[in-house]
Amino acid sequence: MGDASLIPWSEVHSWACTACGRCCVGYRVPLKMDEYVRVARRYGHGVVEFGLGKVYLKHGVGDRCIFQHPSQGRWVCALQAIKPLACKLFPFRVYSQPVYKRGDGSEYRFRGRTFYVYLDPNCPGIVPGRPGERFLNQTLPEIVEIGMGLRWKQKYTTSKYISWTPP
Ligand code: SF4
Ligand code: SF4
C-alpha cells in the first residue's frame, strides 16, 4: 500500500486493534540493531532474514510473520515483550514532513515539536470521523511517544485481546 492512501489523523474518530492479524501478513518487519540482538538472543538467528543491508523477521506459511499465533479466533504476537518498533506503531506513521502537503490535516504538535501523523487504511480498527477524546488524549500522544523513543510500554495502542503468553 503506497503512501498516497494514508489517512491523516484528523480524519479519524478512533482506533482500536481487533487482533485481526492482517498487518502481520505480507508486511516485512525491519529490525533495528538492538531489536535484532534481543530477538536473536531469545529465539536464535533462524527467525530472521537479511536483505539489502537490513534484517527482517522471517515469514512462514501464507507470508505470515512466524511470530504470529492464532488464539481464540484472533491473532496474537509472540513477541509482545520485545515487539519491534515498526509493529508497535502500526497502523500509525509518524513523520517529520507531511506526505501530501501542508494543511493536509496530519500536523500534530507534541512537546513543542511538530509531527505529521497518518494511519494505514489497511487496518480495519480505524473508525473515520472527527477525532474522539480517547484518540486525542490517549492514543495519539502514546503513539508519538513510542515513535520518539520516549515510551516503550504500550497501554492504549495495543490490542485488548492479548492472551497468549510466550514460552
Ligand atoms: S493493527 Fe489493525 S490490521 Fe493489525 S491486527 Fe490490529 S486491527 Fe488488525
Ligand atoms: S512481530 Fe508480532 S506484531 Fe510484528 S509482524 Fe510479527 S506477529 Fe505481527
Reported as a single tens digit per residue, the pLDDT across 92-125 is: 999 999 998 878 999 999 999 999 999 999 999 9
Phi, psi of 51 (to 5 degrees): -165, 130
DSSP code per residue over 104-152: SS-EEEETTEEEEEEE-TT-TTEEESSPPHHIIIIIHHHHHHHHHTS--
Residue 103, pLDDT score: 82
Residue located via cell numbers 515513535 = 147
Reported pTM: 0.89
User: Residue 56 CA: which ligand is closest?
Assistant: 2
Instruction: Please check the confidence at residue 160 and state whether its pLDDT lies above 70.
Output: no
Phi, psi of 85 (to 5 degrees): -55, -45
Task: Give the binding-site residues of ligand 1, using a 6 Å CB cut-off.
Answer: 17-23, 90-91, 123-125, 159
Ligand 1 centre and the CA of 149: distance in Å? 22
Indicate which residue's Cα is closest to atom 8 of ligand 2. Answer: 24
Choose which residue among 22, 120, 146 to substitute to test ligand 1 binding: the one with the highest number of ligand atoms within 8 A of its C-beta: 22
Residue predicted with more confidence, 72 or 162: 72
